[in-house]
Structure 1
Amino acid sequence: MWKQLLEFLRQKLKGENGVRLVVFLGIAGLVLILLSGFLPDKAKPSSRTETSRTETTASDLSMEQYCRQTEQQLVSILEQVEGVGTCQVMLTADGTSETIYAQDQEQEQGESRTKIQKKCVIVSDSGSQQPLVQQVVAPEISGVIVVCSGASSAVVQERVTKAVQAVLHLAASRICVVPAA
């Protein structure tokens, strides 16, 4: 069967008509490839809306996740301090995390004035365009309460307060250390 197909193609491609057929098919293929770039991709709009929903949810949860992760780290380190025993930590934060995007700055100087124009840097990735994130600033911790079994001792309270101050850069007035019930 393959031999018959190859023989048929050889006969059709012989001569001037065969060359014309090959050139025509090549041009038709190139035109189809070029046109495919202009056709809209139906999956892209839904993925963009899902991405924006995910980013919104992620920014809302990022403060909560940041606080919980910091609480867990504080608990694990404070329980190693002499006299603390078991403890629980709760943080409160002001605001939410802030995303700072990279910017491109252009400066034009005129006769008596200077014009500065800032534009957000856009990165293309897999057909989608997104702004380039330069930095994500965590929310500011406004207060901490530490409940631990050894907090009935003033020495332990002082150790815990100093440890939390060192880690979170908070004033002692924003840290409350109380004994567990």
Structure 2
Amino acid sequence: METKIKEYFSNFKKMKHKEKLLVFACIFGVVLILLSEVVPSGTSAKKSESTDYRQYITSLEEKTENIISSIDGVGKCKVMITLQETDENFYAQNTDENTDSGSISKKSEYVLYEDNNNDSPVLIKQSFPKVMGVAVVCQGGDNANVKEKVISAVSSLFGISSAKISVSKINR
């Protein structure tokens, strides 16, 4: 066995530079494939859900800032949005009802599919949280006409009453 290893290394030393690179690339590829099977893929569901929720809020705030800052007289602005609750997911279910001798029994179970060797429920609908309130601070926040335009725009965007919208002048 020891002689075979020595023989292999002596043959390796005789190889050209390109051949050595090819051997290293193959070994590196095999190691990566083996590591991908050993290392757990992805993070926990709770982390991804909270990340999605934060991304959703951040995206809403950025889009709202872009719209509001384009209103005449607003200038630079910042937006903070509060949401009612987290998103709600609805999963597919198989329901079985039995009516035997006057009694009714109902059995439900989630429809599952295999994903990365794990069973996951089939998502049929996702409901995003509703906006509860919006705070806007902007350069033109002290002007009554600008405030009215911003409140009207935010109210229209999110379908909330003007009482749930605050517009103030930004502190320079």
| CA deviation after TM superposition for structure 1 residue 76, in Å | 0.7
Residue among 96, 101, 110 paired with 2:86:
96
1:136-147 equivalent positions in 2, closer than 5 A: 136-147=126-137
Q: Distance in 1 between matches of 2:119 and 2:102?
A: 37
1:130 equivalent in alignment to 2:120:
yes
| CA deviation after TM superposition for structure 1 residue 126, in Å | 4.7
| CA deviation after TM superposition for structure 1 residue 127, in Å | 3.5
Q: Which SS does the other structure have where 1:84 is aligned? A: coil
Residue among 67, 92, 116 paired with 1:77:
67
Q: Distance in 1 between matches of 2:143 and 2:116?
A: 59
Q: Which SS does the other structure have where 2:160 is aligned? A: coil
Structure 1 length normalisation: TM-score? 0.66
Equivalent residue letter for 1:115 = S
**Percent identity for Structure 1 against Structure 2:** 25
Which residue of structure 2 aligns with residue 167 of structure 1?
Answer: 157
Equivalent residue letter for 2:102 = S
Unaligned runs of 5+ in 2: 1-36
Which residue of structure 1 aligns with residue 29 of structure 2?
Answer: none
Unaligned runs of 5+ in 1: 1-42
Equivalent residue letter for 2:97 = Q
Q: Which SS does the other structure have where 1:165 is aligned? A: helix
Q: Distance in 1 between matches of 2:55 and 2:166?
A: 22
Larger Cα-atom Rg: 1
Structure 2 length normalisation: TM-score? 0.69
| CA deviation after TM superposition for structure 1 residue 150, in Å | 1.5
Q: More displaced, 150-159 or 107-116?
A: 107-116
Q: Which SS does the other structure have where 2:71 is aligned? A: coil
1:37-56 equivalent positions in 2, closer than 5 A: 43=37, 47=40, 51=42, 53-56=43-46
Aligned residues: 135
1:116 equivalent in alignment to 2:103:
no
Q: Distance in 2 between matches of 1:103 and 1:169?
A: 32
Q: Which SS does the other structure have where 1:155 is aligned? A: helix
Which residue of structure 2 aligns with residue 23 of structure 1?
Answer: none
Which residue of structure 2 aligns with residue 62 of structure 1?
Answer: 52
Which residue of structure 2 aligns with residue 32 of structure 1?
Answer: none
Which residue of structure 2 aligns with residue 151 of structure 1?
Answer: 141
Q: Distance in 2 between matches of 1:74 and 1:178?
A: 15
Which residue of structure 2 aligns with residue 18 of structure 1?
Answer: none
* Contact 1:95/1:139, CA 8 A, preserved across alignment: yes
